Structures are given as structure tokens and as C-alpha cells.
A and B are shown apart, each in its own frame.
Chain A
Amino acid sequence: MPRVSIILNGKRIETDAERTILEVAQQNGVDIPTLCHDPRLKPTAACRLCLVEVKGARGPMPACVTQVADNMVVTTNSEGLTKSRRMALELLLSDHYGDCIAPCQIACPAGIDIQGYIALIASGEYLEALKLIKEKNPLPLVVGRVCPRFCEKKCRRNVLDEPVAINCLKRFAADTNLNDGEIYTAEPKPSTGRRVAVVGGGPAGLAAAYYLALEGHEITILESSPKLGGMLRYGIPEYRLPKAILDKEIAAITRLCQEIRLGVSLGRDSTIESLKKEGFEAVFLALGAQASQKLGVEGENLPGVLSGIGFLRDVALGKALDIGQRVAVIGGGNTAMDAARTALRLKATEVTIVYRRSREEMPASDEEIEQAEEEGVRFQFLAAPVKANAADGRVNSLECIRMALGPPDSSGRRRPEPIAGSEFTMNVDTVIAAIGQTLDSSGLAQDNTFKLDRRGYIGVKETTMETTLDGVFAGGDCTSGPATVIEAIAAGRRAAISINQFINGEKVAPSQKPYVCTKGELAEIDPKDYEFKPRIPRGKVVPLHPEIRKTRFDEIEPGFTEEMARAETERCLACGCLDVFECQLRDYATEYSVNDKKYAGRRRHLPVKENEHPYIVNDPNKCILCGRCVRICNEVEGIGALGFSNRGFRTRVEPALGMPLGETACTSCSQCISTCPTGALTPRVHLPKPGPWQPETVPTVCPYCGIGCNLELNLVGDKIVCVTSPMDSPVNEGNLCKKGAFYPASLHNLKRLSTPLIKRENSLVEASWEEALALAGNGLRQIADRAGGDRLAVLASAMLTNEEHYLLQKLARAALGTNNLGCLAMPNVASLLSALGKNASTCSFDDIPASDLIMVYGCDLEEDYPIISLKVRKAVNRGSKLITLSPRQTGIDSLAKVSLKVNRRTGVNLLESMLSYIITYDLADRNFVDTRTANFSDFAEEMEKQSVAELASVPWAKPAKIVEAIHLLVRARRPVLIIDAAAITPAELDLLSNLMLATGNVGRESAGLILLRTPGNAQGLIDMGVTPDYLPGQVPISNRASRRRLSVAWSGTIPAEPGRDTVGIIQGIESGEIQGILVAGSDAAGELGNSIFEVPIFSVLIDTVAPKDPPYPDVVLPGATFAESQGTYTNCERRIQRLQAALTPPAGKENWQILAALAHYLGYPMSYPTVASIDDEIARLIPLYQGIRECNVGRAAQWLFSHNGQFDLKDGLARFRSFEAQQLSL
């Protein structure tokens, strides 16, 4: 390819011509934003984000379509471009209707991913839910009990009925963890040795300590009280937050800290200065707001007049208090409620709350007020104290005045004004003033550099919690004034992030806030959107009866039961976008700091299509019309299920005539989802709640056909939530079909077997591994000992890994002494071995798009091997010609130059005549057949006996078409023949290999024959020698040297005679010649049916699910699926690819472990500590598989079909398969 030199952002770059600016920029690490481009698609330049400046061009040029030219000067990042891109994004977002994250999460001061943890709870992933909560809140046990629930007020469910009981769910997750044993804390990073002092052990301090400790810093908490907890301990009464629970939650945090100093006060025992001298690199002040505000009335210093917070603290400290019978509590906040209710519990008989406004204005939560009322607290609204009177040196009455509400004040609440002359007197024994708290700043006085803000609190930069002093941070009530626990926690976490940055010498700055698109406030939501959502009543716990609870301090509210929690999760509307973690639109919106209100105007609002497709959810409100889905469906898949409708602003992506997607030609390949840059197309997750998930991805290989697509299993906890594929995959380039995209997640629907089973009187009963293995091993061994190995047989599933296949045949041959090896899915294996020396594809998938002719024989690629059909489609688009020969119309016929309909009989006929024509008219590749094949002349002689006239006798095919096909093949320079091994007879395969040999198209670069097989590791099964007549490495069993070599290596004698194949084994079972059988596979019974157990011989089954109905095998060992297995698969282009276990097998053992354990009971101990140790043995004993050890994740090795022009036959020459030898075996 010619090279050009361009200047990209001032840097000269040499690159291939015929590349776009976007491609060159990406290769050189220059990021150009684009929303409509996907490397799999032709560029279209629709989104207008990739515009760049090209010197000399009339205007900005789209980088995705503009090809580089020599000496082109390109700028990708000017101010003008940034503005234009920002405008493009703002325009797109002005018509983007959706919630990036749910309103509950936005409302939460700590920003907890509420929708995420509810979804996890819904799926039973309680610990995962707690982990997610603890990312933002280290005190869920506490907060789950006392949170004022900002989230619930914004819950979209308010539009429908009542909000989701979010906080109860949080408490449920935390309580479940508590009951399971040790409280979960995240794993701290390795120690940094850097020290941080946290002054104040309340929620802000604890949160900061937790998150700093996780960063590996050494944390010292200084607390003036005897115990940690701050207001949690000394402000919240026991009946709302039991101290035992608090202690446990605090202990989980202090476990991570270096030192806790209790009873030490700032100012008295240390100063900020002294702490710094002590070696603390940063100090976090979380002093709280513990000083009570004064009533400001005469007599407030009398004995018997207490502060609310002081009173609660004394109670918490266990001090004996005499409050008498009649108590007046002044104030309307939660502290007032707490004080009143605590007073009740201290046996006061008459507790009255005096509040200067009316009930509506009370700041205390409704729940608290209601509960206080239930317990018998009285309320004196619209009244304020004016004087406390004393008798005997203690308060005995309180003079109050009635108030009236005037106009609203600055807080928006109506200002109470006294009504002159309305004074009245209450007789009281105790007055508790709970009208507010403030910072006690006396401790800071020593540090004379420290300045407080106007309100008397510590002034901080709100985004970073920095004070004016270097290295000193502050948060919680001491900076904000009295607030909620969750706000304090949020502040503590924010400070921890800043402190970490400070310590690491980074710039202290808030992390960029991701862009959030929202549908608006509750009032802006159209209730119609939720019309069809089921009404479900909010889950309610039953608190202790007021009469009981008012007498004691027991926790009054129980938590949700598991059942209630699961039911409550169903109520969540999952408002947040499922694509939030991957959305490119959101990423760019964040990067370009857009203002989505700038161009607010008409906005689409369409129904979400949740149920129009079994696998796909379409939210047209989030579509940005990039057209990627339309194009991938059309260009790559050739389906065209999606298209554009309407014009102008009303343009939409939808199937023709607005048909539901599920009723179109859609094949559920998931490609549209994979390419959609936003949340407009998302997988329909078959879990109780759809997410969003931030999954862990495990790369592995698809087991559902022999193509071996590279998958990424997206895991949340122990659930596969969806499947993606890496774009750089050499096999499938990020493309998937329905099977790969959607089947793995359905593994969870299987009723998995988790313990071994043994047969007792016609039913299966659970057994221990030892018992079952011993029974299986002994049973098989006894037959071998008694009747000989040839009375035993082994059937394998082609879904097992190479390692498992290897062990299985080794076990059969060396331990059981049998070559009776069959395969469940491939009873009849057509083989290329004797013709070409190896039974596998002779070329690679990569040769398909590069070919100039593709011949597809006998398979419906679109139906059975969709990913191969994509490659064929690509090849045809590039100019390759296509010939299809199949019994039925197939999806790619429309692309074909010649399309012939043949069945098995006419197929043989047709192929013969093609060969005959080639030989008769001397069209064979003379050079090739002379140098690379052994028996062309014999074969030619034989073929000449066939008359060309037979051409015409082939039914349903015009001779002219056949001749055209022959000429296309003869003229092609890089032809590829694609065959489905499952649908071909040995006779056809022989003829096809003859055809390719005669035209000289086997065993050379970029041409050849591709043999597709249906089961995932069918090629591996063949290569590993799970065959009656071949040893591992496709070596004939008759090869004495190999047999001897393996016998030595395996310390066992390999039977010399070929064994029975699958059909032979089944016949043997029926005739009684086979007396014992071992069946190994994943859903093995499903593949073959359990009819093989009908004849009562001794049978052992390794399987993932239990057989449903009798007849039962004698022993069932619970096996593993591909998602639980390590090892390798070999795909149909001989590519050895590594699987990774994403999940743990339910019964704890992978299949190779089961086989190794079974071998022990067969008296043939195998010692394989790891899969790698099996690979070592394979690499040593099987030359083809020398590369297996290098096949790590993301790397694959392909074994070579032929070396240096030599076929793997004794003289290196390929053989034409004699026509007579295989004459119509039909």
C-alpha cells in the first residue's frame, strides 16, 4: 500500500494511504470523538462529532470518511471544533429523553447506586448489593435505620402509588450481611505508611477513616467521648439504633484503622499543630455540632432545664436522670421527638412537645411524629416558651405564649408571631430544649490560625472539603451545621478522596461530575408512562405496639424479611439507563461539559418498546439517529430489520411500517445492541431487575458451535448478565449471533445438579463424592477386570475441553483398556484423514473475506453458522463470487452468482460430473496434481468412465449453470470451499476433497476447504483422539510407534485394535456386548437422550443436570458447563483458544477434576494439580498441540495443516479418494 505523510496536530506522521483521518488518528493515540462510527461499518458522517480542520479545505471535514492525502495538515482539537462538537452534543441531548441515573440516586447525598443494589437484591445477590452500597456508604446498618430518605421523596413510583421502601432494602442488605457473620469491608490497598488523623468519631469521621484506610493509609481516630459514634451513639436513642448494631458496624471500620484514641479532646490534649508534628500528614476535622442552642428565655439555666442533645447523651451514657412526671420538650425537629420519646421511656407520664409553628412546618420526619403521637406524646403547636419558673430551686412551670403564622420568611416557612396577651402556663418537672445545635469551637481556639465562617462553622470548599489550612480538611455537621447522617457520610467520603489526593501529591480537585440526563422532576413526569405498570403495595414492617415500646428501649422496627425484600424490589421501576456505564453519548457529554438545557425545545416522548422482542428492549427516546443499528443490520447482517422512518426532526429508527421488531426478519444476533452508542437498544435481561450492572468481564470461547467466537461473559456476582465480544477478536471481530449473545445468560435457568446421585431402586438419591466416585470407579473396573476392556465404552460430549477429552480417552485407553470411544453429537464422522492426512479445515476463516470465490456446500450458513455467513457477505461485497449448493433455499443464495439445489443423492451425482468435466476437458491443475498428489492418473482414468452427459441428468439444475460453476472454480485463484461436517456424507466429502485437489486448491495459502462442525469443541475431540481408531494428534491407532510411545508415557497398555464408534457402541449396548459405559458431557443426556440407559448395564454419567425421568444411570456425577471450565477449545480453523472459568461449578468440581478423581477409583491414579499440568502433557505428547501452552487469554495458536507443501501422509502427497471405494454408501 502506498505511504503518505501527514501533519496531525502539528506532528508529522507516516501512514498508509487509503486510510481515513479517524483511523490514522486512532492508531496514533489521538482521540477524535464520534458517535456514528463503528469499525465494522462503512463510515457515514452523520453525527458530525468527528469534524476536523484540514488545511485548505472549504470547511471542517468529517474524519471518519475523509481519507488522508500526502502532506495533509489536520487539526483535531481547535477551539472552534470543541465548540462545534459541544453544540452537536447539546443538540443531540436536547432531544434525548431519559434518565442516565435514577432520580433516587441523584437525590441521595452520598450518591449511592440505589437502582443497582435493588437489582442485585432482586437477583439474590445480597453481598454484591452490600458491596455496592459500601462503595459510597460504610455505615449501612446505621443509615438503614435512621436515614431521612431523600431518595424516596424523588422515587418515580410516587407518580404511581407509593415510593419504593429503599432504605428498608438497604437495611436488609446490611442486616443479611451482619447475620451471615463478619461484616464485609472492601479489601484495603497495600499500606502506604502515610498517617492521617481523623478528629471526631461520628459518621463523617468514620466514613473518612474507612475510605482512607482502603487507600492503604494509616488512620488514627481521635474522639473526645468514651466511645466512637458521635451523634449516632449519643444523639440517636437506642430504640431507633441499637448500640450493639452500631458497635459492630464501627468495629468493622476500626479494624482497618491503626489507632483509636478515646477521651481525647482537640484543644485540650492536642492541637492541629501538634498532630502535624506527630507525623500526621493530613488532619480531618469531623467535630460535629454538639453545642446546644440556647432558648434565650428567662430561667433557662434553672436546674431541670436540659438541652435535648445533652439529655440524650446522658441517657446514652447510662447516667441516672430524674426527670419527674411532666416533661415539656421545646422544638419540632427529630431531636425533640427523640427527647420526648426517650422521656416517655424514662417513665415520664406527661410529655408535651411545644412547637412555635404548626404541624405542617415541623422539620421532624412524619414517621417520627406519628410514632411519638402513637406513644402518647402530646403536642402544643403554635406556642413558644417565654419564661421558666422555679420552685425549690428547680423548674416547676413554663410560661408560654400562643403564636400565629405570618408571611413566609427566608426559609420559605411562615414566620410565627406571638399573639399579644395569649400567655399561658404549663406545670412541668423538666424542660428539654431541643431547638438546635451548633459547633462547639472551643477546641479550635488553640490553633490561632484557624478561622470560622460567618455562621460559626468551619469554612470549607464544598467540593473538596479543604479548609484554609494546608493539609487540614473538615466535614460533617462542623462545617454544614446540624444535618443528616448520610450527608455527614458523603462529606467524609469526599474529604477522604481529597486527602488521598493531597497525600499523593496530586492536585486536590473534585472528580469530574459525569453528565446526567434527566427526565425532570416528579411533576414533569407523565403518569401515562407508568399506566401499565402493576400497582404493588409498599412493603411495610410492623413496629412494636406503642403500648409495649413506650416502656422500653428495644428497637421498635424490625427489618424486612427476605421475602418482603424480594417483593419490594419488584416495585422498583428501574428508571436509570441500563447503558449508563457504557454510554458514549454520556462520556462525550461529560468530556465536553455540555449544557443540555441550552437548546431545550421540542423533545420526543415515545413509548418504550419493552415487549416487542424476546431479547431486545428499544427505548426510542434515547436514540440519537446515528444509524449504526440500521447499518449493522443491513451491511453486516444483510437483514435490514431496522430502517429510518419519517423526515426532519421526526426521523425515527424503526422496522418498516412500525412493525414490532420481534415480528421482522430479525435473527436476534444482538449486533444492534452491541453497536448502539446509547441506551436506545439494550438486551432484555432475563433477571428480576435489569440492572444497570458494572460487570466484571471474563473472556472465554463460545461453545455453541465450532466457529469458536470470542466472548466476554459479563458477570455480576455469580450471574452472567450479558455477553459481549471484543472488537479485536481474530475469529469474530466483535460480531455475535443469537447463540453466543444470549444463550450463556440462560445457563442460569438450568436446574443444575449440585451433588452426586446414585441409583437406588429405580430412583436417584443424593450421595457424597467419595461414595459416588467409588461406586462408579469400582463398577467400571470390575467389568474391565472380569470381562475385558472391550466390554466397556466411553461416550463424550463435544462440548468438553481439549484437556477433558484428552483425559477421557487416556482414561478409556490406559485405565479401562478400551478403544470404544464415541461422541454424543457426532455419531457419523466424515473424515479427510486418508485423503489429506488430517481431518480438519485446510485454511482459515480469514481466507474467506480475502477469497475470490466461495463455494458453500450443503449448509445454511445464515441459519447454522451466522458468523461465517457475515464473512461470506463481506467477501461478496468486496467482489468475491459465491456458489451455493444446498438442498433448500438459504439466506445467502441471493448473493450467489450460481445457486444450485442439490440433495444428498443429486449432490454426489453433481460432484462426480463436475470432476468428470474437469478431467474430460483437461481443466485440472496439472502442476499441482503432479507434484502434490499421489494418484491422479488412476483417479482420472476412473473418472473418465463417467460420462459428462450425466451432467444433464442431475435433476433441477441447468447444465449451463453447472458448467458456469465449474468454470468459476477453475478460474478462481483463492477459492474457499465451506462445508458443514454435520450435514455431509463421507461420499460427498471425498468428492469435494477430490474436486479441490484436482483444481489445486488444498494445502496452499489463501485457498482451501473449511469444514464447519456444530459442537463447540468437535475439532478438539477429533484432535485429542476421542475416536475408536485414532490416537491423540490424529495418529492412526495402527501406528505402533506412537502407540508404544503413549503406552510408556501413560504407564498403561493401549489396545491395538480400533474400537467401536458411536453407532457400534450403541449396537453393542443393545446386543449386550457392552457391559459398562461412561458418558461425559455437558447436558449429555439432553444431546443423546437417556434411552442409552434403557438396557440395564452399568452406567456412569457426568452431566450438568440430573436426568429427569428413568431409566437412570447407576451413578450421576455433577459436571460443569463451559462457563465453569478452564482449558482450551479448538475451533474449526484449528485455532486453540483458552476458556476461562467465570463461575464455580455448583458441585465444586470441574469435569477434568472429576475425571482425575474417577481415575483414582479405577486404580489408575492421575496427578494433575492444574489444567496447565494437563496442557504440559499434551504439548509434550502431541506435536500438533505444542502451541497449547502459549494459548493464554486473548492469544490463540493455530496448528498447521500442512508443512512446507507436505501433507501429513507418508510420502507427503495427498490422495484422490477412489470413487469406487466409496460408491454410493446411501
Chain B
Amino acid sequence: MSETYGKDKKWLVRVGVASCGLAAGGRHVYEAFAARLSDSRLNAVLKPTGCMGMCYNEVLVEVVSPGGEHVFYKRVTPDYVPAIIEQHLIDGQPVAKWMIPQNEIDSFMAKQKRIVLQNCGVIDPESIDDYLESGGYQALEKVLRGIPPLEVIDQVTRSGLRGRGGAGFSTGTKWSLARKSAGFQKFVICNADEGDPGAFMDRSVLESDPHSVLEGMVIAGYAIGATEGFIYCRAEYPLAIKHLEIALAQARERGFLGENILGCGFDFDISIRQGAGAFVCGEETALMMSIEGRRGMPRVRPPFPAQSGLWGQPTNINNVETFANVPWIILHGAEAYSACGTEKSKGTKVFALAGKIARSGLAEVPMGITIKEIVFDVGGGTSTGLPFKAVQIGGPSGGVIPASLGDTPIDYDSVTRTGAIMGSGGLIVMDESTCMVDVAKFFLNFTQDESCGKCTFCRIGTMRMMEILERIANGEGREGDIEALEELASNVKQASLCGLGQTAPNPVLTTLKYYRSEYEAHIYEKKCPAKKCRALISYEIIPEKCPGCGLCAKNCPVGAASGEKKRPYTIDQEKCIRCGLCMSVCRLKAIAVR
């Protein structure tokens, strides 16, 4: 597409204004460019675009020269804009100091393969023309004009696509079940209730390339014989919803949605349902209850949604990323898709890289890539410089994979073998300063709070596990706590009603599996090896290093640090609340944690 502009001998400026860009001030940068570019008689086009994946570099501005050379500017502020225009667009000299070095781009992109994200950060998400230009809705047309539904399902099945929402059920099989079920009306639901802390794949796709999801849904509707679709999206994603609404209106106008789509006699329409942010509504049965207007509480399966779903009718539910894969599969063929990935996990997976990683953002990698490759090659290693310790994969339902298992290939089965789950694609990187008890507590606190309250084990069991973790972190752990945790965890896992409860103990179980000694240190030695748990650490001043500048005392909120000027200071442990402020202000690293 950039070539089009290149050929027209125009400059193209893309500004990232997805949530990540906006949060960094993308709107201001965009407006600064807009003001300048309309003023001047420059031969330049300005485009808002979605997330390019390098969220850590936002606001990210891409300048494409009429010659087709791409230059990326990182962390752009409105102040940079005049310089970029004058030096680069007018003088033809890219502003080197603000550019992202080519080797960084190369290493970030080298191991990626972009299928779902192919248009993200490239097209204007509010423009259906952009989407069409990049090959959008061709898959739909291909399907409607000549592929019978069963063959569509067959193609999806052969592609090996598995549900990207986490469980990894074969998408083709799911469609085929829904196709076979009898009902007077069938539904397609897109689960866009992405709720894992640290996960934002679906949001980015919806914000940056909404039509790809719609196209996937229409194809699914055609394949299973549904006439109505719902996108269940959390209300916390206003931009995604806005882009979806625009996309829906455009698609209807162009005849890709509604009655008699593309004149092929197929009717299908989609509406958006906004969720109020209950994590459990990402569970499919709870999600359907929520769409029906009831309190989202999971129910027992079977019957599966494919048999009895929304309002008792056969329903196919897939998540955003799954649907976004579909048009590509149809266009390029099942074989092209299954050529990528491992034996049982085909295609690519989008990961949201977060935590202590140098390059936080979105990356789409082929299945089978190892954890280390993602963390180091794509992600650039840890952001702190401390050694890489572990990743939490699969969100709060997933688990921790330690650095020692860094060569684990990312595919459904290998990840499951470690005790974690593939999940929807959250990948949180931890370095040596991370306390594993704290990690387990954090995730359990999240699931405990988000439990729907229906079944005993999830509602109370997770709370009791949390209390034990709190106790351990507070230095009140006692003999038998680990065993009690394990007993509770195994029962909560086995006896909970839905996926939320069944996976809630995973963070605890995996941290216990790989970092049992950390738990033991908390309980028996009353020590937090990562020096994270406040109750178990103390800040002390190393007299030899302390020049007595008084900066610590000045900053201490409770007056625990004191001393005479030019003599070593001391910290009163009784008063100290272990906020760590003194340590962060001390220029001479004279404060140590013990």
C-alpha cells in the first residue's frame, strides 16, 4: 500500500493512534502533523493508524518517502514535528537521533510472522477502503461466490486453526458441530471480552483492523448457517468499540453485512454487546448469559454452546484473534496456514509482551518458537538488566514457566506440559527481582475477586488460598501451609464449575512447582529471597557508604531515617514502613535491603 503513495510521489506519514499511541500522546502528535501538513504545500499524506506492535516506542511515527523508504520515529512528541517535517520531508534528511535504529526493527520483526497483525499499524482502521485495498473482504467474496459451507469448514479444519482464546479447541470442529446442530436460528459470537491482566492482543486487533474480525465472523456465519452475530466487547475498550461501530456501518453500506450479502442471498448481521468488565464473562456460558441480559454466571457444559447456546440455540463462539485468522486462511489456503507452526499447533500466535521486558508490545510469532526467542530476540531481554527469571503465560489462569525451561516451544501441548496454559496470549516477563509468592498472590487475588460466586470451591476456596499466600507473604506462614495450599489448589482445580475456577490455582501450582524454595524461605526463614515482600525485608544504611547527605531523611515519609549531617544515617526499623523511597533516592547506593 505504501507503494501506492510511493508511486504517486507523495510522502506518507503514519501516526499510531491506537490506545497505546493515544496514551503516549498520539493525538497531539497527529494534530501537530495535521496542522503543519495542511499549511504547507508539501506533497504529503497523513494517516492515523493502529498499533504497529512496538508499543514501547509510542508515539511511533512512520514516514514513507516517495521513493518508498520507511523511517520510524520513536517516542515522538509534538515538539519533534516541525523538525521532522523540515529536516526529513522538506530536506530529505531523516532526523537520525529520533529514529528507531534499523537493527532494532529488524530484530523485533525477524522472528515474527504477521497474519493477524498484517494490517495493524499499516491501514487506517476507520477506513474500509484501506482495508479493501489491502485485500479485505476478498475472502468473503471468494467464499460466497463459490465455496459451499461444508467446504469452508473443511478448509478451516485442515488449516489446523485452534481457538486462540486459550483452550485451543479445533475451530473447524467447533464450526462443524454448530453446523450439525438443529435450531431455528443459529448465532455467531465473537468473544472480545479480553480480561487477562497484561493482555491486549484483541484490543489492538479491534482497534487497528476491525474489518478482519467482521469478515471472519461473516464467513463463520455462512459456514454454520447463522444469520446473526454478536461481538461481546468490554466497555473498557471504547476505541475498539468505536472502530467496530464505524466498521459495521461501513460494511453494511458496502453490502458486506446485512441482507443478501454481495448479492449472494446470504443474510448476516452483527451487533455489539458491551460487557461491564466482569472477567468471568469471558467464559463462554457466562458470556451468553450476559448477552441474554442476565447476570453472567457460568453453567455446566454439556450442553455445549454449539448444541444449546444463546437463547438455547446453536451458537459458535470464537475469540477475536481466531476470527481474524479466518480470511487469511481462506485467501491463502489451509495448506499455506498449516505450513506454519508445529505438528499440532498451526499458524501463528499473537503475544502481548509485558512486564519487565525491554520491548513491550505486540508480537505475532509462528507456533513452535521458544520462550527465549520471544523474550530475547523479539523482546530484547529484560528491561531492568537483571537476569530473566520466568514468564507468566496465559494470564491469571496460566502459570509461570521458569527461565530454565526457556527452550520450551510455544505450542498448546508443550506449554500445557509445563503446568501453564497457552491462554489468550498474555506474556509477562519477570526478572530476578520478582517474588514468586507475590506473583501467585497477585494473580489469585485477581481471580478471587473476579469469581462469579456461584460455586463453592472457586468462591471460597480461592479466598482461602489467597489468605494463606497473604500469610506467607506477611511472614506469618506456618508449617503445613504449602501442603494446605496444594490440597486446596488440587480440589479447586478439579471441582470448580468453570474454567475460571479450574485454572485459578495454576499460578500457585506452577510457582510451587518451580519455586518451592522461595515459599519455604518465606515460611521457615521468614525471608523473601527476591526482597519484595515488605513484611520480610528491612532497609538498612551501609555506614561505610553513607556520606550523611540527609537525602533519605528528607524523603522518608514517616521519619524513620535520621542522623547527623556528614555522619552515617540510620533507619529506625520500628518506624520504617518499607516503602523503599530512601533506597531509590540514595545516590550512593548506601542503602541495602535485607
Name A residues whose Cβ lies closer than 8 Å to a Cβ of B.
44-49, 51, 59-60, 62, 65-66, 83-84, 87-88, 91-92, 94-95, 599, 601-602, 624-625, 627, 643-644, 646-651
Contact = CB atoms under 8 A, between A and B. Distances in A.
A48 B459 contact: no
B495 A91 contact: no
A601 B299 contact: no
Interface stretch (B184-192, B359-367, B446-454, B543-551): B446-454
Nearest to B299: A44
A62 B501 CA distance: 15
A34 to B, nearest CB: 12
Contact of B451 (A60, A627, A648): A648
A92 B455 contact: no
B495 A648 contact: no
A647 B454 contact: no
B461 interface: yes
A91 B456 CA distance: 7
Contacts of A44: 299-300, 454
A278 to B, nearest CB: 57
| Chain B: number of interface residues, binned into ranges | 20 to 34
B274 to A, nearest CB: 18
A648 B463 contact: yes
A87 B458 CA distance: 12
The residue among B300, B453, B456, B459 with the most chain A CB atoms within 10 A of its own CB is B456
A88 B457 contact: yes
Nearest to B487: A87
Given A45-B497, A87-B457, 15 more contacts: A44-B299, A45-B299, A46-B497, A48-B456, A59-B494, A62-B300, A91-B456, A91-B460, A599-B464, A625-B454, A643-B295, A647-B450, A648-B459, A648-B463, A651-B451
Interface of B: 278, 280, 295, 297, 299-300, 448-457, 459-464, 467, 487-488, 491, 494-497
A46 B464 contact: no
Nearest to A598: B484
5 contacts: A62-B300, A88-B456, A91-B457, A91-B464, A651-B451
A51 B495 CA distance: 8
B464 A601 contact: yes
A627 B497 CA distance: 15
Nearest to A96: B460
Contact of A647 (B453, B455, B494): B453
A627 B278 contact: no
A155 B454 CA distance: 36
Nearest to A85: B495
B290 to A, nearest CB: 13
Contacts of A625: 453-454, 456, 459
Among A62, A91, A648, max chain B CB count under 10 A is at A648
Contacts of A650: 453
B467 A602 contact: yes
Contact of B278 (A59, A94, A602, A647): A647
B455 A46 contact: yes
A281 to B, nearest CB: 49
A49 B297 CA distance: 18
B563 to A, nearest CB: 42
Nearest to B494: A59
Contact of A60 (B295, B462, B495): B495
B460 A649 contact: yes
A94 B462 CA distance: 13
A503 B294 CA distance: 61
A648 B450 contact: yes
A251 to B, nearest CB: 55
Nearest to A646: B453
Nearest to B467: A601
Contacts of B457: 48, 87-88, 91
A44 B487 CA distance: 25
A648 B448 contact: yes
A606 to B, nearest CB: 15
Nearest to A93: B460
Contact of B460 (A46, A65, A599, A627): A599
A647 B452 contact: yes
A92 B494 contact: no
Nearest to A601: B467
A90 to B, nearest CB: 9
B464 A48 contact: no
Contacts of B496: 48
A94 B297 CA distance: 23
A59 B494 CA distance: 6
B463 A649 contact: yes
Nearest to B296: A647
Contacts of B494: 59-60, 84
A46 B454 contact: yes
Contact of A46 (B295, B456, B467, B488): B456
A92 B299 CA distance: 20
A48 B497 contact: yes
A601 B484 CA distance: 13
Given A45-B300, A84-B495, A651 B461 contact: no
A646 B461 CA distance: 17
B460 A95 contact: yes
A892 B488 CA distance: 46
B299 to A, nearest CB: 7
A88 B459 contact: no
A91 B300 contact: no
Nearest to A649: B463
Nearest to B453: A651
A627 B298 CA distance: 13
A46 B487 CA distance: 20
Given A62-B300, A91-B460, A648 B467 contact: no
B451 A47 contact: no
B455 A94 contact: no
A627 B456 contact: no
A466 B487 CA distance: 39
A332 B454 CA distance: 59
A87 B495 CA distance: 10
A130 B295 CA distance: 51
B456 A644 contact: no
B300 A647 contact: no
Contact of B459 (A84, A87, A649): A649
A92 B495 contact: no
B561 to A, nearest CB: 35
A87 B491 CA distance: 8
A1085 B224 CA distance: 70
A10 to B, nearest CB: 23
B459 A651 contact: yes
Nearest to A64: B300
A625 to B, nearest CB: 6
Contacts of B488: 87, 599
A649 B452 CA distance: 9
A295 B439 CA distance: 69
A398 to B, nearest CB: 57
A601 B463 contact: yes
A708 B464 CA distance: 49
A87 B280 CA distance: 24
A62 B448 CA distance: 22
Contacts of A649: 448, 451, 453, 459-460, 462-463
A167 B426 CA distance: 67
Contact of A84 (B452, B491, B497): B491
Query: Counting chain A CB atoms within 10 Å of each CB, which of B278, B449, B462, B491 scores highest?
Result: B491
A467 to B, nearest CB: 39
Contacts of B463: 601-602, 648-649
A262 to B, nearest CB: 60
A416 B512 CA distance: 56
A92 B460 contact: yes
B456 A647 contact: no
Which of A46, A625, A650 is most buried by chain B, counting CB atoms within 10 A of its CB? Answer: A46
Contacts of A648: 448-451, 453, 459, 462-463
A88 B495 contact: yes
Contacts of B449: 647-648
Contacts of A647: 278, 280, 449-453
